[in-house]
Amino acid sequence: MHIRKVGVLGAGVMGSGIAAHIANAGYSVELLDLKDEWSAGALKKALKAKPAPFMDKRFAGRVRTGNFDDHMSRITDCDWVVEVVTEDAAIKQSLYEKVLPHLGENAIFTSNTSGIPLSTLTAGFPEDVKKRFFVTHFYNPPRYMRLLEVIQGPETDPALVDVVRQFASRNLGKGVVDAKDTVNFIANRIGIHGMMLTLHKAIELGYGVREVDAITGPAMGRPSSATFKTADLVGVDTLAHVAKNCYDNLPNDEEREIFQLPSAVTQMLEKGYAGRKAGAGFYKKEGKTLLTLNLETLAFENIDKPRIDSLGVAKKTDDVVRRVAGLLAADDRAGSFVRSVLLPSLAYTARRVGEIADDVAAIDDAMRWGFNWDLGPFELWEKLGVSNVNEWMQGEGIEVPAIALEAAKSGSFYGDRTVGSPTPLQQAKESDRILNKAFSSNLLDLGDGVLAYEFKTKMNSLDDSVVNGLSDALDLMESRSDINGLVLANDGDNFSVGANIMLILMSINQNKWEDIEKMSGRFQDVFRRMHQSSKPVVAAPHNMALGGGAEICLGADRIRAHAELYMGLVEVGVGLIPGAGGTLELLKRHVEDLPVERDLVFDRFPWVARTFMAIGTAKVATSAYEAKDLRFLRQRDAITFDRACLVDDAKADVLHLASTGYRPEPACENLYLPGRDGAAAIGALLYSMETAGNISAHDRLIGNKLARVLTGGDTDGRKPVTEQHVLDLEREVFLSLCGEELSKARIMHMLQTGKPLRN
């Protein structure tokens, strides 16, 4: 069975988000609600919402809205129908009465419920429908949250569950986890227990909101929103609702009282402090000041960031396991609090094995994908050392769960299995298929004559060692007849955040201008080699590919992008322009399809101006589809939704190109550019923008220099220029901007704060 069309019943925030993401993947969606104006209004809100549910606003055209009474017949040809209405069994069952007469005889029918038992939902269903009905619990927002919990009943046809599982993972990019039909399933059961435990301990032990968030965020391998900012983000009322659902429906849970709302939270809700959507929750913003709630008085206070020694050490520690181990061993307020919340949470999670899921890996996946933890609870436990954690628990008076005592014998909760699913790059390393290993990179054999070049610097930033390693990889690829091509990829959180600007700043401070020029030239030459090599090079970027990270992709002959791609040439943020060939490559992508006839040069200025705006405003695409609109990706470049398949798909691209007569891209010797007149037109725009106060004098300086590169320098626009001419201009301007004091200040500010400086 193939899913080609989907019906979504319920157009609230969740329903419209699910509809939008299915449309992102290229499928037609029927979005229905009680009234036409509700579903149509939800679609309009989705188009304006941030973060954006649609990867491209044009995809909204794939969604047709309507109402339950007049348009339910539209679901007849839907292969999958998802119900996403209010969490009320009576309301859902009332809707089902309208659905069943129109449900296709082979259609899969699921509910997005987060807590109603499957047996309650299917009461009164015909046997045939019971086989096709199960729960698919998406996490909000559906586009961005990877987790999809699937819950099937004893009568559900497993083959149909597999259809949705495959569709959701491959086509929607979801991480699918099999959960049991228990209250709040896996992620919310464990996650809400942890949040409520943290809240109770904060009140009991006298910890402040900001102090707790400093401890329970990245220091513990959790998101920067930590505990209380997360509560504000999802809604304090939503947190209270999920906790109450656990309290009311888990009478035999040994820690049921943890789910009871503290009086402070009850009073918060009475005051309307429901979180960010209400303008106040555990935090409240007044102007630029972020106030925090005093959990005793419920008054908002201006509290400084806490300074705790172990947190300072954790900030400087890249490895999450070392961070957590340091906190668990710390003899200060942070260490004490981590022991009081993490160890009981791990013990509670271990006792849920068999109740919420049979597999510890499913629980790990659910917490990583649903709550954005760096490591799942059992992954963390094992990496810390099972026996070590067991001893910490005993020291805190916590009874060690039986599963942990058993795991201590072998040192693993997973038996002979690898913790988590190894990526293709990890598999190559574990199979000893490393052809070249260096401090900053690996050259790996992916099999079938395809190599992978993986760079592994901090945040995957680019420096001389990375570029030299890439050059060596290209040499090897060209020299061996058994090699078909090369993939650029890594397993980092981000593909690459750009060049190592610390090294650039050091060269600037030492007046090593020749070194800077050579570095830029070296980057240009190696990146240019990629699309002029005799064998294909495919870049596989994911998440952030910024600055130099975008440039290395632009140098590849093809790009296989993850759908969630944030790509841009952002160098103006540090007072520079792209200096590794990115200016030329983006320019080429804008003008390469324009006609050039014998005696007529098509006016290029509008397309050159578009290139200028993309670079000059540091425009960042917020999806792979937007990257195509901005020409960071060509139309021939492919997009993958499932991150786990990205490297394999890139490898398949290499093999396809190699087997279909791949030819390298020849250098363009006849680039027709607007020349001095074009630069003057952009200069006039920049002057008016500075006069109006929209840009600074230094912005204008950078803009004029960028315009000189993009318009071809000292030419009248009648004669073509070569790629090398544009590269020379790019390198010249890059070097000149490195010599500007205000650019130097921008670089220093970015290194110190992580934010751009407007000076």
Calculate the average pLDDT of the chain.
Answer: 95
Q: What is the dihedral of CA 119, 122, 127, 133, to 10 degrees?
A: -100
397, two tokens: 């008076």
| CA nearest neighbour of 349 among 391, 404, 422 | 404
First to last CA, the chain: 59
Please give the model's pTM, rounded to 2 decimal places.
0.93
Q: What is the dihedral of CA 4, 9, 11, 15, to 10 degrees?
A: -60
pLDDT tens digits, 350-373: 999 999 999 999 999 999 999 999
Contact status, residue 733 vs residue 685, Cβ threshold 8 Å: no
272, two tokens: 């309307």
* Complete DSSP assignment for 34-103: SSHHHHHHHHHHHHH-SS-S-SSGGGGGGEEEEEHHHHGGGGGG-SEEEE---S-HHHHHHHHHHHGGGS
Q: What is the Cα–Cα distance from 541 to 555, expressed in whole angstroms?
A: 12
Nearest 5°: the CA angle 439, 445, 450 is 125
**Non-local CB neighbours of 691 within 8 Å, separated by 6+ positions:** none
Q: What is the Cα–Cα distance from 733 to 73, expressed in whole angstroms?
A: 63
Q: What burial class does residue 14 get, using C-beta atoms within 10 Å of its C-beta: 0-12 exposed, 13-18 middle, 19+ buried?
A: buried
Which residues of the chain are modeled with pLDDT < 70? 416-420, 596-602
User: Which pLDDT belongs to residue 417?
Assistant: 67
**Non-local CB neighbours of 478 within 8 Å, separated by 6+ positions:** 533, 534, 535
* Complete DSSP assignment for 567-628: EE--GGGGT----SSHHHHHHHHHHTTS-B-SS-B---HHHHHHHHHHHHTT--BSSHHHHH
Burial 69-107 (b: 16+ CB within 10 A, else e): eebbebbeebbbbbbbbeeeeeebbebbeebeebbbeeb
Burial 591-600 (b: 16+ CB within 10 A, else e): beeeeeeeee
Look up residue 277 and give its amino acid.
Answer: K
User: Which pLDDT belongs to residue 536?
Assistant: 97
Q: What is the Cα–Cα distance from 240 to 270, expressed in whole angstroms?
A: 12
| CA nearest neighbour of 15 among 102, 114, 85, 116 | 85
pLDDT tens digits, 118-153: 989 998 899 999 999 999 999 999 999 999 999 999
User: Which pLDDT belongs to residue 621?
Assistant: 97
Q: For the chain, what percent of residues have pLDDT higher than 70? A: 98
pLDDT tens digits, 623-674: 999 999 999 999 999 999 999 999 999 999 999 999 999 999 888 888 889 9
Q: What is the dihedral of CA 255, 259, 262, 266, to 10 degrees?
A: -160
User: Which pLDDT belongs to residue 665?
Assistant: 84
Look up residue 601 and give its amino acid.
Answer: V
Q: What burial class does residue 520 get, using C-beta atoms within 10 Å of its C-beta: 0-12 exposed, 13-18 middle, 19+ buried?
A: buried
339, two tokens: 């022991």
Torsion sign (Cα): 654, 655, 660, 662: positive
Contact status, residue 39 vs residue 31, Cβ threshold 8 Å: yes
| CA nearest neighbour of 641 among 163, 175, 84 | 175
User: Which pLDDT belongs to residue 598?
Assistant: 47
List the domains of the chain with CATH numbers.
5-178 (3.40.50.720), 187-410 (1.10.1040.50), 424-570+620-659 (3.90.226.10), 675-753 (no CATH)
Q: What is the Cα–Cα distance from 376 to 366, expressed in whole angstroms?
A: 8
User: Which pLDDT belongs to residue 594?
Assistant: 82
User: Which pLDDT belongs to residue 669?
Assistant: 82
**Non-local CB neighbours of 137 within 8 Å, separated by 6+ positions:** 112, 113, 114, 148, 149, 150, 151, 179, 185
